[in-house]
């Protein structure tokens, strides 16, 4: 991180909110992003991906970068398109709510 770019200027209020380019911004965004992802994973089922031999398992609710997330959903209870669509809508809506808090 460049101290010439990421630094407080005279008169700046520290931790006064998100201000792009300030020195505390990266740490706060990382902390906020981690919390949002954790909450989303606790409330959404996502998918289970198994390797061909069934040895390894990955549970995922999506791929994310900061506040942008591609959500994954499946239909584990009924294996129907309707359940998959409902789960996808729930996951997407829940993520939209989280990032607007």
CA distance 72 to 74: 7
Say whether 60 sits in a helix, a strand or coil: strand
Q: For 4-60, what is each residue's pLDDT tens digit?
A: 666 667 776 665 555 555 666 777 778 888 899 999 999 998 898 889 998 999 988
Query: Residue 20: its pLDDT value, please?
Result: 56
CA distance 91 to 96: 9
pTM: 0.67
CA distance 25 to 28: 5
* pLDDT band at residue 92 under the 50/70/90 scheme: very high
């Amino acid at each position: 991180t460049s101290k010439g770019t990421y630094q407080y200027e005279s008169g700046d209020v520290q931790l006064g909110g998100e201000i792009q380019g300030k020195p505390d911004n990266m740490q706060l965004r990382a902390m906020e992003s981690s919390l949002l992802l954790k909450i989303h994973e606790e409330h959404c089922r996502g998918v289970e991906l198994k390797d061909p031999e069934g040895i390894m398992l990955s549970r995922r609710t999506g791929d994310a970068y900061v506040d942008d997330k591609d959500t994954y959903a499946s239909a584990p209870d009924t294996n129907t398109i309707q359940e998959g669509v409902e789960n996808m809508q729930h996951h997407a809506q829940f993520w939209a709510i989280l990032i607007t808090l």
